Amino acid sequence: MFRIFSLYHLALFKFIFKSKLKKNSFDQSVYVFFAHQTYRFPKKTSSDNLFLIKMTKRLAFAQFKKQIFFTTGINSTHAIFDGNLKAASLRINYVQRLDDVKINSVFGREELIKRASFLLSVFIVIFLAISFPLLFLISLFTTDKIKIALWLLNLVEAMHLNKIISLQKIKTLYFFNCYENDANLLAYSLMKNNIRIEKIPSEVPLQFWNKILVANSLNICFKYQQDEYETYKETIFVDTIKNWIPENSLQLEPFYSGRENSPSKNTIGFYSSGMWLRAAKGRIDLKDNALENEKYLLQLLIDFTKTNPLYKLVVFLHPIEKAEPEKTKNHYESFNSSLTIANILKNNNEQFYNADVAVTLYSTLSYERLFWGFKTLIYPLGHAGFPLQESNFKNVCLTNETELTAKLLTALQQDNITFFKQNGIDSYTYNNYPFFQRN
């Protein structure tokens, strides 16, 4: 516990005194910790002068609640760390099948502020009481009010996680939830306590949250991430690379592996993120023009089908849209188009064959479709520097309206095999993995 405690305090010291950070794994972890955005609290929290008080109170009361974690009952030194326990069974199956190990437990971040041991909780309550005045004073002079409170929360979580790992005699931790700001500092601290950290960053490109990454092993979930590793390897501090698969692949295996799913001919798929509805509910930060970009791409595809009436546009709704069918129906009718809505009773990733070619802004479904061998084009509006120009992945990404029209027409006239070969991404699909050839 002392090593965790001291490393987190050293990180805070470097932040307060604006120490010049070196290009080593610890200093880069400190940079990510204080520079990157957290997705755990609303944006307005950054200006809440009372947030540290609320956080300290929350942490103190949490020490009177017992921590819950998912246990398999198997005697093993391997465990999983995730944001919560909702997908525990899926995570266990994923790791056990890909790495041929047995999992002991799954620890959820949401539970980590609660008591792991009586003595540790007593220490935390005393520490909170002693440190609060100084931390509150520091927070008054910090522009982003969330940073000090978040440091305190992450410290408590790290101490509890370290304790429960020790009690369970865990030696290897499979680390999901890699996008949070403390993912590297937590990994670094646990590695210093001789815990092997294997990070699973999901199929989302490393560029967005994991250009700086600290672990023993980086378990790549999508082929494009290999090109990213070569580009960012100066700030990806790992010993080994493992070639894994997208996180939901095992759930989708019965739908696509070894099956001939002929796509609906002359159909174009648009995967909505429901930005219009999120905006109406005040759930998104519009600084990256997410709302405008999604509407713009949809209108481009509507115009394309009007110019090329042979093709039909199919919209795959986001879950938040499916939850409000009347509003959603009215929204899409306002486009005055002959677009159709995909089957809302099926998950979108279970009906890839209902679109011959999909065009997306930016969605994990893009990578899942490509992995399962379905033609997909990405128009990454609002994401500068993506994709890497030295990667073949750029061949299925669009940069302007003219390119969209040209590449979409070409893709619609190609079969799946030709599409992947001519774009140089035929190695991206599931049938290139020995894992699926064995099963």
**Which of 224, 247, 270 is at the close of a domain?**
247
Question: What are 234's two structure tokens?
Answer: 């100066």
Alpha-carbon distance of 124 to 236, in angstroms, equals 33
105-108 vs 70-71, strand pairing mode: antiparallel
Which of the listed residues 213, 247, 281 is the one where a domain comes to its end? 247
Q: Taking the model in full, what pTM does it have?
A: 0.94
377 with 300, same domain: the answer is yes
Expressed in percent and rounded to 5, the helix, strand and coil fractions of the chain are 50, 10, 35
Same domain for 38 and 139:
yes
**Which residue range(s) make up the domain with 323?**
254-438
Tens digits of pLDDT across the chain (439 residues): 899 999 999 999 999 999 999 999 999 999 999 999 888 888 788 889 999 999 999 999 999 999 999 999 999 999 999 999 999 999 999 999 999 999 999 999 999 999 999 999 999 999 999 999 999 999 999 888 899 999 999 999 999 999 999 999 999 999 999 999 999 999 999 999 999 999 999 999 999 999 999 999 999 999 999 999 999 999 999 999 999 999 999 999 999 988 877 899 999 999 999 999 998 887 665 457 889 999 999 999 999 999 999 999 999 999 999 999 999 999 999 998 899 999 999 999 999 999 999 999 988 999 999 999 999 999 999 888 999 999 999 999 999 999 999 999 999 999 999 999 999 999 999 999 987 765 4
* Whether residue 184 is found in the same domain as residue 282: no
Specify whether 217 is located in the same domain as 356: no
Whether residue 263 sits in one domain with residue 201: no
Q: What is the CATH number of the domain that holds 286?
A: 3.40.50.2000
Note whether 95 and 58 are same-domain residues. yes
80, 255, 387 from 69: Cα distances, Å: 10, 31, 38
Other beta carbons within 10 angstroms of residue 287's beta carbon come to 8
CA separation for the pair 307, 247 (Å, rounded): 38
The count of domains in the chain is 2
Same domain for 226 and 270, yes or no, is no
> Which of 195, 197, 203 minimizes the C-alpha distance to 218?
197
Look at residue 260 in the predicted model and tell me its pLDDT.
Answer: 79
Q: Are residues 316 and 385 in the same domain?
A: yes
Q: Which of 204, 230, 247 is the last residue of a domain?
A: 247
pLDDT number for residue 436? 74
